[in-house]
Copies of this chain bind each other. A is one copy, B any other.
Amino acid sequence: VPSPYVLLIEGAPDPLAAKPAIGMLRYRRRDVAALLDPKHAGSTAEAVLGIGGDVPVVASLDDVRAGGVVIGTAPGGGRLDPALRRSVRDALARGLEVVNGLHELVGDDPELRALAARTGAPVRDLRRPPARLALSENRARHAPCFRIHTVGTDGCVGKMTVALELTAALAREGVDARFLATGQTGMLISGGGVAVDAIPADFVAGAIEAEVLARRDAEVLVIEGQGSLAHPQFSAVTLGLLHGCAPDALVLCGDATRTGYRGCDGTPPSLDALVELYVRMASLIHPARAIAVALRTAGLDDAGARRALADATARTGLPAADALRFGCAPLVAAARAARGR
């Protein structure tokens, strides 16, 4: 692996839009050389994104030694904007690997592809659908692994993070727990999985089924969720994933301070309504139950965060945790109890 990487974060309207960069800084920090964003050059990752300590922000690839670049933003719709394109071109011209999680594929762009071919720069498009697509055969439900799926109230509420934290916590207790990435950031971090939102809709369930079956011998498989069943933009992705992975247990992820959808008109149903909705829709394929709620409480003080978690428990009857803030012991206990049944 030609690490360390420079993370391109130009044009991110807010830290949440820099999800891939934040994921790399949280879980693969040793592989990060710098962030690139002329607007913040001279600053640090911590100052700009609230994570990453003194990882420097640079103005140009001239200012850092790197093996490759990673597109660190994840704008809705996934287009390569002009500033990003300039940096990608610059990286390819230097022969550096480009890792891209946007819907717009670098390897399919005539100019960028030609440039990569000329310099030999490797291109990794995380959202390129697998070459072999197949319809689901409704088989994940028979896999022996215990399947926990993190589902959500919206995008960017911590479904990937909760899945990673829970996997790591279970592994620390000696469980053969594995994380299954279903989006570009999870793939960056884990090195495997599939970006379900870029797959032709007919094949979403089949694509995740194949990934589950490839890990069928795990004791616990923790499958990252996407979008929300009630989300006007992403519900197709959410339901195909839910049905394709046939979970035994669901963890509902939400954000304690968000009211409407992020970047889209509309408001999610309440936590208890969503718990019931996910259980019902999942159980059309395979009996599932909700085991916990995981809340993002950033923006609240500790007392407010504890109150939000208690409220979530009161509303849903489920244990609630903010895995990053207070640890995920309640999630681990819930997973163990559900699996023990």
Contacts and interface: CB of A to CB of B under 8 A. Distances in A.
Interface of A: 76-78, 103, 129, 133-138, 196-202, 204-206, 229-230, 232-241, 243-244, 264-266, 269, 281, 284-285
17 contacts: A76-B135, A77-B134, A77-B202, A103-B200, A136-B232, A138-B265, A138-B266, A197-B200, A198-B200, A199-B201, A201-B204, A201-B237, A202-B233, A229-B239, A230-B284, A238-B239, A239-B239
A126 to B, nearest CB: 13
A53 to B, nearest CB: 33
Contact of A236 (B78, B103, B237, B284): B237
- Most chain B CB inside 10 Å of its own CB: which residue of A200, A204, A241, A266: A200
Contacts of A197: 200-202
B205 A201 contact: no
A202 B237 contact: yes
A335 B205 CA distance: 34
Query: Does more than half of chain A's interface fall in helix, strand or loop, or is it mixed?
Result: loop
Nearest to A197: B202
B202 A103 contact: yes
A133 to B, nearest CB: 8
A201 B208 CA distance: 13
Contact of A233 (B103, B138, B238): B138
B136 A233 contact: yes
Nearest to A134: B77
B230 A235 contact: no
9 interchain residue pairs of minimum CB distance? A236-B240, A138-B232, A197-B202, A230-B284, A201-B237, A204-B236, A239-B239, A236-B236, A138-B265
A290 to B, nearest CB: 18
A257 B317 CA distance: 42
Contacts of A243: 232, 235-236
A198 to B, nearest CB: 5
Nearest to A273: B284
Contacts of A264: 135-138
A224 B179 CA distance: 38
A235 B205 contact: yes
Given A233-B135, A284-B230, A285-B266, A196 B205 contact: no
Q: Which of A103, A204, A206, A233 has the most B CB atoms < 10 Å from its CB?
A: A233
Contacts of A229: 239, 281, 284
Most-contacted residue by chain B among A200, A201, A235, A243 (CB, 10 A): A201
A201 B233 contact: no
Given A230-B284, A236-B240, A243-B232, A200 B202 contact: no
Contacts of A237: 201-202, 236, 240
Contacts of A265: 137-138
Given A137-B265, A197-B200, A198-B200, 20 more contacts: A77-B133, A77-B202, A129-B200, A135-B264, A136-B232, A138-B265, A199-B201, A201-B240, A202-B233, A205-B233, A205-B235, A206-B233, A230-B284, A230-B285, A232-B285, A235-B240, A236-B240, A237-B240, A266-B285, A269-B284
